[in-house]
Structure 1
Amino acid sequence: MATLAPRPDLLLVALRRSRARTLRVRAAAVPRARRPPVPPQAARRVFLGLGAAFVDQLARMASGGAPSRSFVAAARPRQGVSPVEEILKNVEWPDEFPFKPDDFSRFDESSDTVFYSAPRFVTHIDDPAIRALTKYYSQVLPPSNTPGVAILDMCSSWVSHYPAGYKQEKIVGMGMNEDELKKNPVLTEYVVQDLNLNPKLPFDDNTFDVITNVVSVDYLTKPMDVFKEMRRILKPSGLAIMSFSNRCFWTKAISIWTSTGDADHAWIVGAYYHYAGGFEPPEAVDISPNPGQTDPMYIVCSRKKTA
């Protein structure tokens, strides 16, 4: 199915309405006494590339015109066409980066260091989604114990979801909580760093064969700086894998993420690769194990260009 070209001029009104509904629903879900203040800039969350109306339209086309009940339900229409997988095919990217600084604001702008100071030895996606991600890793990561292979697990914690017993000579974890990183059995070393304060990655050029990031790309407030650094430290043809679901600490996720849906999220991450430069055209993959029943799981990946 051909990918529709986004029409920002027609979609902005629908997106603003959808965004307003999203904010009302999310605000209602927070107990009144604990409801965080909404920053003034939250009113200007404009997604210039795509929007809820476009995703719904794509889902309806794939399902024969039937309206979708939700983004999750629409993620895998009856014919098996995932809007998430379609969204990055034949993209006509805007000439300029389509986001504004306020799009990377958050409801909770307090210190991330404080927020992540207490270890959380839990998983942030359910077991079927974890198994789907592990299976995907088993298909795309270099075989275990491949000489010379180095992997960076960005925004890592106490588990990386790599296949059981997976090993390489160098697997570096970068995360926010040292206690969590110490518990991660796959890591050979780790770095504690807040990428929102310091997006500079402390590694030499052309160091890593693979960079992974699990359900954390939505927290990056300086994504372009981070993706340019990823390009720098990847070896030529090195692979970057960003995985995400529809779950997050929504007060810490960037506003453009909390205001949009699953296919939009794939477009957002794809835009990071595109505008960072030096990456092959990004690809979106829907590995959701039980659409509409368990947590969805999506991948947006790309390789560093060889020249």
Structure 2
Amino acid sequence: MATLAPRCRLLGPTGPRPTALRACAAVSCSRRAPVPPHAARPRRVFLGLGATLIDSVARMASGGTSDRTFVAGARPRQGVSPVVQILKNVEWPDEFPFKPEDFSRFDESADTLFYSVPRFVTHIDDEAIRALTQYYSEVLPPSNTPGVAILDMCSSWVSHYPPGYKQEKIVGMGMNEDELKRNSVLTEYVVQDLNVNPNLPFEDNSFDVITNVVSVDYLTKPIDVFKEMRRILRPAGLAIMSFSNRCFWTKAISIWTSTGDADHAWIVGAYFHYSGGFEPPQAVDISPNPGRTDPMYIVYSTKKTV
């Protein structure tokens, strides 16, 4: 009998408030705005089962028959993280498998409403933050590398880079200017709502690395955003999407709130794949204490050189 995969842990009035780490909205239930009528439109609901989601997508793409190789990554081997396995040897459907309703949200009110007041808090626990910072210390270019440019997409007052990390250009893109001003790692910042305008205001081939912390689940136009990421990355440039199992469910997209951790890795991998121009995405599980602290997952890819 299948076991339900963990879904997003809901952050309500007693949980931490959003950090504005994202250029898309997340809101505590205690600050929830009235939901407009159009927000209640029907949404597809998946079961939160790794294999079930992937098999469902495969059937939609193939006209009713799933591909055995396609779903193999969803069936975990003992002792190996299913998040890591989910992007191994994927045979993607010919067309993007998700529908517009998969990117609907329970609360479709203006995202900027929730970022009018700065919130200087963190979104994941200290253990998960330390794991992410350690990961960054291993994969980011060494501090003060000449010519390196980094974009921290969906940024806030903290980026979780290693202490003292510096580059000639580190741009933060977020929703609240007061928070961005307080982020000491940034050399400059841009205030922009990616759910309204997914076009990135940067020249082609201008960044070496793009990071995004616990925010990819709020993007309602992910393919547009990922295509823009590809455009502004230099050849072989690295894009790192990190996420946990915590979310503000009223602002997270439907396909995210109805699925589990391994599914989330596959969804982010699909964004890379269907945007074109990226190497096959890979997933990493850097959870510091599985089952005891917040998990931490990475899906990353590099821009193709040709």
Q: If the TM-score is normalised by the length of the shorter chain, which range does it land in?
A: 0.7 to 0.9
Structure 2, gaps ≥5 residues long = 15-28, 56-71
RMSD, matched Cα: 3.2
Which residue number in structure 1 is paired with residue 26 of structure 2?
A: none
Question: In structure 1, how many angstroms separate the alpha carbons of the residues matched to 2:199 and 2:34?
Answer: 33
For residues 179 and 216 of structure 1, do their structure 2 counterparts lie closer, same or farther at Cα, with a shift above 3 Å needed? same
> Which range moves more in the overlay, 210-219 or 35-44?
35-44
- What count of residue pairs does the alignment treat as equivalent? 271
Question: In structure 2, how many angstroms separate the alpha carbons of the residues matched to 1:282 and 1:224?
Answer: 14
Question: In structure 2, how many angstroms separate the alpha carbons of the residues matched to 1:134 and 1:46?
Answer: 32
| Residue type of the alignment partner of 1:139 | E
Q: Residues 11-62 of structure 1: CA distance to partner in whole angstroms, max 9, x if unpaired? A: xxx99xx79xx89x999x979x999689443442358x9555779x988853
Structure 1, gaps ≥5 residues long = 1-13, 64-78
Give the share of equivalent positions with the same residue, in percent. Answer: 77
Would you say 1:175 and 2:174 are equivalent positions?
A: yes
Would you say 1:276 and 2:275 are equivalent positions?
A: yes
For residues 203 and 62 of structure 1, do their structure 2 counterparts lie closer, same or farther at Cα, with a shift above 3 Å needed? same
Higher helix share: 1
For the residue of structure 2 that corresponds to 1:44, the secondary structure is coil
Question: In structure 2, how many angstroms separate the alpha carbons of the residues matched to 1:238 and 1:61?
Answer: 30
For the residue of structure 1 that corresponds to 2:246, the secondary structure is coil
For the Cα contact (< 8 Å) 2:156–2:179, is it kept in 1? yes
Which residue number in structure 2 is paired with residue 74 of structure 1?
A: none
- Could you say which structure has the greater relative contact order, defined with CA pairs below 8 angstroms and 6 or more residues apart? 2
Which residue number in structure 2 is paired with residue 62 of structure 1?
A: 77
Which residue number in structure 2 is paired with residue 251 of structure 1?
A: 250
| Residue type of the alignment partner of 1:205 | D
TM-score normalized by structure 2?
A: 0.81
For residues 153 and 34 of structure 1, do their structure 2 counterparts lie closer, same or farther at Cα, with a shift above 3 Å needed? closer
Which residue number in structure 2 is paired with residue 148 of structure 1?
A: 147
Q: Residues 45-95 of structure 1: CA distance to partner in whole angstroms, max 9, x if unpaired? A: 358x9555779x9888534xxxxxxxxxxxxxxx2x000000000001011
Question: In structure 2, how many angstroms separate the alpha carbons of the residues matched to 1:114 and 1:40?
Answer: 19
Question: In structure 2, how many angstroms separate the alpha carbons of the residues matched to 1:200 and 1:207?
Answer: 14
| Residue type of the alignment partner of 1:142 | P
Which residue number in structure 1 is paired with residue 91 of structure 2?
A: 92
For the Cα contact (< 8 Å) 1:45–1:102, is it kept in 2? no
Q: Residues 172-226 of structure 1: CA distance to partner in whole angstroms, max 9, x if unpaired? A: 0000000100000000000000000000000000000000000000000000000
Question: In structure 1, how many angstroms separate the alpha carbons of the residues matched to 2:53 and 2:210?
Answer: 33
Q: Residues 125-173 of structure 1: CA distance to partner in whole angstroms, max 9, x if unpaired? A: 0000000000000000000000000000000000000000000000000
For the Cα contact (< 8 Å) 1:42–1:255, is it kept in 2? no
Question: In structure 2, how many angstroms separate the alpha carbons of the residues matched to 1:292 and 1:42?
Answer: 33
Which residue number in structure 1 is paired with residue 197 of structure 2?
A: 198
